[in-house]
Structure 1
Amino acid sequence: MVRLFYPLLVLAVAFASPATARILTGSARVVDGDSLSVAGLSVRLFGIDAPELSQQCNRDNKSWACGLQAKTQLEALTNGQLVRCERKSMDAYGRAVSVCRVGDLDLGKAMVSRGWAVAFTQYSTIYEADEAAARNAQLGLWDSKFEVPQAYRERRKTEEVQGFSAPPRVVRRTNSSSPGGCVIKGNRNRRGQWIYHLPGMPYYDQTRAEEMFCSEADAQAAGYRRAIVQ
């Protein structure tokens, strides 16, 4: 019995479905700025969030297709290259959430550090420092006013349900320095909550500001709520 079972087990492992494989290797077809198809499997880059294909950003009061540009940037990184992805999990859409590389280049890190995606801190903080560097250097998206991709998706979903257009909730995440003496820190936590912190509040010093506000009214108008002090 053992002699018959063992070869069958080897064959089962050897011909495992790509959907169950932990390592995927092959050429890539880019879908958008944070997703692609590798070895016939849909892949979502781990730890980053890029603009949706339909998303527009604003530079010098002119709209531009930042979602399409993010896709173009990822295509440039993968074009004609062998892509190797290490799957971490599967998402609700059946995509393999993965860290993908071309040689030694981490594609997620490259997209964030060049300003074409933001760190998806709701799931990982691995690329936070890369986002901060891109933001401070005003690279890619950071040279524009833009809506954080997840906020864009949430707004569009709300519009579909309610049947009318809603204004963008956040139009830019500024750097963490305080412009013109504005000291109120706006931050999005890992639960997806938009919270602002005043000087003297617990965690104020530890909070990484994604936007700075001069008044609580400004913070609330942008969709943030005051941090709860216990």
Structure 2
Amino acid sequence: MKKFIFAIFISTVVLSACTEETSTKTIENEDIEGLISSTLENAEKYDVSRFEEFELENVIDGDTIRIKYNGSSEKVRFLLVDTPETNHETLGVQPYGPQAKEFTKQLLAGQDTVYLEFDVSYRDKYKRLLAYIYTKEGISVQEQLLQHGLARVAYIYAPNTKHVDWFKSIQKTARQSTIGIWSVEDYVTNRGYDKDAYYATTDKNKDVKKTENDKSITNNNSCVIKGNINSKGNKIYHMLGQRDYDNTIAEEMFCTEEEAEAAGFLPAKQ
């Protein structure tokens, strides 16, 4: 069942990429749960006995956690990966940032400690600890973020380059599969993530969907009542001439109000 959930997730993301229709909701929390289940069951487990174990305090972001280090509370920045932001003072929330954070949070859920593999240099210019992160079971957090399209390989600064070739090979596979951050062309850049490119593409896809929807109406102009299910799950139907008619994307089309109401749809108020 877990493998089936994972297969559905991958198929959904690939299909959305093929049809050039992408949304920040491509990966929902229930998808993350499925990915976590699959990861716990199928991910490669590494020997962590040679690494250092520390008390985990909390997850700050997709690529940052807080641990207890030599009696002090310290931030740990994941080496060689970068996830989209969730609470940046200038960049704000970036698409797939919340999903990356949720993935890391769920992968580390129930873990009171984590294992850190240090490279040559222990800290960055912000005095944060730098490390490769592993769960008690030996799962590499960086590997899984890259594998599921929730992070890019970045901040490659010598001498901390021990796993760069490994990470790049994982990223290459995710990119070729156009999953997660790679599902929208030009969203990932050498400098980070381009929200403008992301929303330009997704807005374009919305326009394409609306055009196709309008063509469907034209081809069947006797049935022009649009049935739409809103974000709250309410079924609403819209008549020609109503305020939101042109901007409404129909899940179903009806020929009469009676037909719409029989299907459980209620009339729009305006």
TM-score by length of 2: 0.43
Higher helix share: 2
Higher strand share: 1
